[in-house]
Amino acid sequence: MTKNSERAADATLTRRAFVGAAAATAAAAGLAGCAPAATDDAPAEEGLPATGEDPYEGAEIFYSTCPPECQHHNLKGYVVDGKLVKVESSELNDCAACGRGIARAYMTNDPERLTVPLLRDGDKGSGKFKEITWDEAFDLIQQKFDEAIATDGVESICYVTGSGNFGAMHGPVANAFFAHLGGASTTVGSLCCAGTTAAIVPIYGQRFLDCRNQIENSTYCVIWGNNPAISKQGYFQRFEKVVENGGKLVVIDPIYTESAAKATDWIAPWPGTDAALGLAMLKTIVDEKLYDEEFLLAHTCAPCLVDKATGAPVLESAEDPASFMVLDTATGTVVRHDAPNITAALTLEGTPQAEQYSTEFELIYANAAPWTAEAAETECGVPAADIQRIAREYATAEHAMIVQNMGGFMRTENGTYATAVGAYLAAFCGQVGHVGDGVSDAGGMNEVKTGAPIPVPELDHKVPAIPRFKFGEAVLAEDPLKVNVLWSMTGSPMTQWPNTTMVKAALEAIPFVVTVEHCLTSTALYSDLVLPCTGMFEMEGVLANARSHWVQLVEKAVDGPGQCKSDLEIFTELAKRYGFGDAFDVPMDTLISNVIEPTGITLEELKEKKAIDVVGPDYIPYKDGEFLTPSKKAEFWVAAWKEEGFDPIVTYARSEEDARNDNELASKYPLFAVQQKTYRGVHSTFHALPWMDEICDTEPHILIHADDAAARGIADGDAVVVFNDRGEHRGIARVNKLLKPGVIGLQNGWWEQQGGSSSYVTNDKWKTLGGTHCCNQTLVDVKKEA
């Protein structure tokens, strides 16, 4: 493999520079321990100008963004003599970028970057490749596409994307190309936020309406099943301000995370039991009449009627999905929920209508009723007194917020219900739509619509999709289709998809696998053709994504190493070969304008300002209780859940993969395994950067409680193996009491070359309600490395 050593990191990209920036970011988040501090009297690094000289004097300045699934910080790059020598958080941000963002300078100059197309020259996984030209690569791709289409149809070409780049010229361009080609297949099932989509969209009407700007105004903030000190580090200081201002910060997580260390309360439930915990909180709130009746009646469907015979909501007209009916207590008649001058009944007890109908309020309480605080203590492993206390505090707080952030708690079998119960709690207590409250979705701007850079043709047929969680089995069984070609970009299935052993088997079995990447990732190792692509500061574009509050211009500062091409350039060349090149060979200004035109932002304005906050610093989602459902109210009864064969009202049942079950699986593998995010990466992005080795773990760590370690003869620092029937994951034991006994923490994102992904052992159950990923509903055991 060619190394582009002449583009090695510039001398100004030093350990000192990085550590200083990382330490500053960590300190801003209250995490100074994450990085060693840079001292003022540190010796000058080799190649740096003498003290007092400005190494960036006369540098050209360019703006871009950090586009993986995180915060999408705006970045400012400095170019000297044609090299990107420094990246920093730009002055346009509302919070500072973390070390991962400023690592973009090192990524650009990384000597391990791919520079030419590579064709496999040995067994898959061997890492043996030979260099070929782009013409040879395009010829081969076209040949393999043609063969696939001729034998098994265009759907036998499968393309997959990930969260490695949310720029608007990547995934959208792939969608356009493969639609133009006739309809290639892809996968179904979200690794991160299926539970949020399946819950928040039907209940509140729309998601990605993020309330991060209201965090510091909260007086009671519940961080439920996520760790923003690591995954949302740039604005973690907002959470700290809650405590500084006299409020409470409650972390619900089986691991004592960096966020928990800064919190006032740590609640540690068993993995996968969050829905039961939420229902127990809801029962306490209802029993003690702590709910906001005025808000429930005015802004939710709590009083709306459900027919006992059909189990469906009662509508005035089947043609009008917003025509819910309620019982008017003044007249004793059934009327529309939005009729003027009515007082709807939350319960029907003692009324003639009680025999025929229930209210949604009653159905919710019926599902919550079994979850007394004592019952929840038994199931969740959380003291009953703590459950009741946080329920009361949340309900009565002046400004209360639930921060879900697409957290690990929803990556479980009950993840959709667990997510939805947070939405229920907020609506029941009137803690949504006002200053300092809401349910934080880790989104950004879904109110402002964006366009596609290239129109995506509508297909006249439906293309089967492969369940992502069962990708290996589906490919090997050729069900629902045969895959002849796999195109992988902006993600790494070998690192992130569950049951890695089966993913590997699929990649080995697929006749032709193409990976478009910066470097030789785990997935690239198992590919037939690897295409080198450009990264940030090496191409033009725009970031306008539902995960960000900002529309950001992506400026090109330097050329990519060697013969790198952008995804757009790659697809444009292929489009020309297939006769639809005119749709792709369009000036970048036109493509950017196509994306931002629906927002009302002009290209000229964006070029001038570089980044534009489209929601504003005082943004409040669902302001004043106006939801985005057909009824404009929070709708608790979810038709889509019923259509999938599940209860349309939040409920809880213990999952199949649970260590307390009385079965062979639980006996064989008695430990819950949950995934942890790391400081050094976003999923698998950044993990291979040597620059990160200076301040971060350099090999996978396995967090294990001292009691569980002692029972297995494991000491801190031992090499250990985590295992189950799916596979094995190796790492270094970190033994302490910073997690719930019976739970182990596995770091997410490690590459094959670094010891292998924790996804080797993760649960690949399909299908769950809403299609949630069950990586945090995984049973394992652990032993010392032989």
**For 111-128, how does the pLDDT look when each residue is reduced to its tens digit (9 = 90+)?**
999 999 999 999 999 999
pTM: 0.92
**In angstroms, rounded to a whole number, what is the distance separating the alpha carbons of residues 533 and 529?**
13
Indicate if the pLDDT at residue 445 is higher than 80.
no
Contacts of residue 644, defined as CB under 8 A and 6 or more positions apart, other chains included, come to 767, 769, 770
Q: What is the pLDDT of residue 689?
A: 87
Bridge partners (DSSP) of residue 721 are 730, 783
Size of the chain, expressed as the number of residues it contains: 786
Least Cα distance to 143 among 119, 121, 162, 114 occurs for: 119
Residue 457 has phi, psi (to 5 degrees) of -60, 140
Indicate if the pLDDT at residue 644 is higher than 70.
yes
| Structural domains in the chain, sorted by start | 5-109 (no CATH), 118-184+454-543+558-609 (3.40.50.740), 196-445+626-643 (3.40.228.10), 664-784 (2.40.40.20)
**For 709-752, how does the pLDDT look when each residue is reduced to its tens digit (9 = 90+)?**
999 999 999 999 999 999 999 999 999 999 999 999 999 999 99
Chain centroid to CA 83: 33
Indicate if the pLDDT at residue 357 is higher than 70.
yes
Torsion angle (degrees, nearest 10) of CA 289, 239, 198, 595: 140
Q: What is the pLDDT of residue 632?
A: 98
**For 490-499, how does the pLDDT look when each residue is reduced to its tens digit (9 = 90+)?**
999 999 999 9
Residue 8 has phi, psi (to 5 degrees) of -55, 160
CA atoms within 13 Å, Cβ hemisphere of 43: 3
If pLDDT is split at 50, 70 and 90, which confidence band does 443 have? confident
Q: What is the pLDDT of residue 193?
A: 87
Q: What is the pLDDT of residue 171?
A: 84
| Burial zone of 389 (CB within 10 Å; 0-12 exposed, 13-18 middle, 19+ buried) | middle
If pLDDT is split at 50, 70 and 90, which confidence band does 397 have? very high
Contacts of residue 197, defined as CB under 8 A and 6 or more positions apart, other chains included, come to 190, 207, 770
Q: What is the pLDDT of residue 19?
A: 35
